């Protein structure tokens, strides 16, 4: 990862130079060679907003220009992140290893500088573990002016980006490298490294708890399920009741006997993105020692087919005694989540947030541009939505009308696991709500959990969606206390 170093007194003489400008008339402040100044002025005149880069190989200078005509105009947060990512891409293209940023403090506010560095850091992620030819990253060190960022902010950013990258790694790993047992082993290791506790319930303990949803989905697998409990409870926590995060950990989803057809099974290794987000969020919170009591719950299994697998019309009994008529074995995520939501009750939580790649219906609504949200606590959803805007992981609230609950009624059991073609994302949320008796928010991340092409600071594959969102939400709760 990039090392950001405050103070430019130790900068090597041959270090490349980035100049960040937010006002086109400011260029004369940097004493550039006349030829370069003319080139930049010509390009700036034609473009008021965004960025351009010009690289002069003789002087090894990268010039990055960003902003509107007026320097006092506040820039859009996401544009600044994307600008940081674009600068990183330009530097990597030129195989630059060390750079010094000039004009940083003058060009951006303290908050904007942090956004720029965040975009640079997130953009450097690569997943080439299984390739002979590695996608080498070149940039190692960025020198910044004194007071460029708030004390401690660089370390906090490093830990957050490290956690987001870890979530991306988890989502990108194939099932033959990351099944439920391996996920739990890795979670224990990360707990030891980051400072949170991990408890793993094996199949026997899951059976003792009568988690019929998790056990039912696991019936077709030769890999036993696990139920993972992560706890970050610092002595100085400002909340006595924990925030509980629940992540769907379906390590691979074939759809079961409601088999996914065509290319719909491709990339189903990403069906545990909710689990990855929960584990990575606990990592970030623990690494940065946030004074907030947080618990993570991850039911983990794959959804495969065998002679023992669930079939349509089976009836299973959940851990709270609710009977469920299974009408689609590909609606399995809500079954494993339901047991986790029941388990969360024992903690008397202040709020429970679940994250899951739950429905294609949600993905059809938001695409990869945002996340579908539902819940029963308007004040908490409003706060979470604000955090979503802060980190550009936007949230769209789903309707939770009582008619959607009616679609889940069963003639032979307490509830069905699907409600038909109407309002698929909402009926899935209503199914989950059945197992809650506390303040609760549901995030359906089916759309943004993975992408098919590089977008700014997001790479093909897992995006780590939700980590920065939840971290910002927790940090905002601490700041407002």
Q: Which amino acids are annotated catalytic? A: 260, 334
Could you tell me which of 228, 477, 234, 466 has the C-alpha nearest to residue 356?
A: 466
Distance between CA atoms of 421 and 427, rounded to whole angstroms? 10
Supply the DSSP string of 44-89, one letter for each residue. HHT-SSSEEEEEETTTTEEEEEES-SSTTSPPPHHHHHHHHHHHHH
The residues, ordered by sequence, that sit 6+ positions from 357 with a Cβ below 8 Å of its Cβ are 248, 270, 271, 273, 274, 333, 444, 445, 446, 449
Q: Is 332 exposed, middle or buried (0-12, 13-18, 19+ CB in 10 A)?
A: buried
Q: Look at residue 292 and give its three-state secondary structure.
A: coil
Contacts of 289 by beta carbon, 8 Å cutoff, 6+ apart: 195, 234
Could you tell me which of 143, 156, 122 has the C-alpha nearest to residue 392?
A: 122
Residue 320: closest CA among 340, 334, 347: 340
Q: CB neighbours of 389 closer than 8 A, spacing ≥ 6?
A: none
- The answer to whether residues 121 and 137 touch, using CB atoms and an 8 Å cutoff, is no
Residue 195 Rama label (left phi>0; alpha psi -120 to 50; beta): left
């Amino acid at each position: 990862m990039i090392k950001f170093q405050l103070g430019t007194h130790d900068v090597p003489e041959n270090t490349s130079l980035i100049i960040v400008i937010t006002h086109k008339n400011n260029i004369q402040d940097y004493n550039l060679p006349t030829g370069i100044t003319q080139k930049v002025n010509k390009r700036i005149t034609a473009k008021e907003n965004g960025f351009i880069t010009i690289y002069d190989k003789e002087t090894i200078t990268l010039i990055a220009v960003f902003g509107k005509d007026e320097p006092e105009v506040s820039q859009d947060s996401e544009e600044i992140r994307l600008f940081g990512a674009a600068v990183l891409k330009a530097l990597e293209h030129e195989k630059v290893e060390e750079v010094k940023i000039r004009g940083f403090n003058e060009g951006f506010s303290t908050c904007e500088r942090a956004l720029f560095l965040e975009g640079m850091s997130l953009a450097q992620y690569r997943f080439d573990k299984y390739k002979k030819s590695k996608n080498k990253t070149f940039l190692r060190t960025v020198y910044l002016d004194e007071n460029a960022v708030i004390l401690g902010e660089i370390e906090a950013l490093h830990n957050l980006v490290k956690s987001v990258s870890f979530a991306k790694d988890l989502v990108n790993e194939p099932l033959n490298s990351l099944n439920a047992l391996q996920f739990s082993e890795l979670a224990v290791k990360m707990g030891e490294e980051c400072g949170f506790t991990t408890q793993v319930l094996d199949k026997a303990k899951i059976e003792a708890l009568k988690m019929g949803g998790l056990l039912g989905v696991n019936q077709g697998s030769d890999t036993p399920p696990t139920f993972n409990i992560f706890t970050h409870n610092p002595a100085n926590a400002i909340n006595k009741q924990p925030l509980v995060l629940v992540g769907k950990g379906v390590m691979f989803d074939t759809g079961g006997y409601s088999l996914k057809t065509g290319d719909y099974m491709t990339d189903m290794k990403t069906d545990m993105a909710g689990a990855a987000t929960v584990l990575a969020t606990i990592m970030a919170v623990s690494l940065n020692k946030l004074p907030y009591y947080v618990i993570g719950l991850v039911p983990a299994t794959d959804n495969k087919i065998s002679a023992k697998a669930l079939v349509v019309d089976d009836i299973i009994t959940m851990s709270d005694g609710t009977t469920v008529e299974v009408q689609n074995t590909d609606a399995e995520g809500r079954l494993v989540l339901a047991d986790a939501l029941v388990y969360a009750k024992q903690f008397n939580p202040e709020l429970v947030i679940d994250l899951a790649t739950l429905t294609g219906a949600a993905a059809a609504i938001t695409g990869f541009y945002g996340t579908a949200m539902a819940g029963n606590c308007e004040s908490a959803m409003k706060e979470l939505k604000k955090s979503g805007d802060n980190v550009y992981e936007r949230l769209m609230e789903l309707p939770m009308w009582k008619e959607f609950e009616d679609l889940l009624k069963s003639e032979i059991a307490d509830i069905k696991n699907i409600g038909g073609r109407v309002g698929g994302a909402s009926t899935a949320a209503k199914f989950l709500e059945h197992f809650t008796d506390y303040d609760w928010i549901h995030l359906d991340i089916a759309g943004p959990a993975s992408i098919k092409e590089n977008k700014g600071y997001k790479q093909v594959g897992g995006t780590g969606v939700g980590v920065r969102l939840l971290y910002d939400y927790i940090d905002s709760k601490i700041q407002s206390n």
